[in-house]
């Protein structure tokens, strides 16, 4: 299968679905064979997509690593 990435960096901002807190997400082009990596911007902590913990969520996809949790990422991935 042919790999694809973004041509340029893009970002969006809004309000967190569950927290009501302001959020901003940035999509950055990746090099070949890089895969998807999530970063918590306040801690610069990489969360790899393979760390899905579905049992901790109710109808949501959760990424968790070292006490950092990102929830409802399926909305972004769609």
In contact, 56 and 66? CB cutoff 8 Å? no
Q: What is the pLDDT of residue 52?
A: 52
Q: Write the DSSP symbol of residue 74.
A: H
pLDDT by 10s per residue, the chain, length 78: 788 888 999 999 999 877 888 988 889 998 888 877 777 776 666 665 554 555 455 677 777 777 777 777 787 877
Contact (CB, 8 A) for 10 and 26: yes
């Amino acid at each position: 299968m042919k790999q694809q990435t973004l041509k340029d960096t893009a970002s969006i901002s809004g309000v967190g679905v569950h927290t009501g807190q302001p959020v901003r997400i940035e999509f950055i082009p990746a090099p070949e064979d890089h895969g998807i990596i999530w970063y918590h911007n306040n801690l610069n902590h990489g969360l790899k997509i393979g760390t899905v913990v579905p049992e901790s969520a109710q109808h949501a996809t959760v990424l968790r690593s070292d006490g950092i949790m990102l929830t409802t990422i399926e909305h972004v991935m769609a």
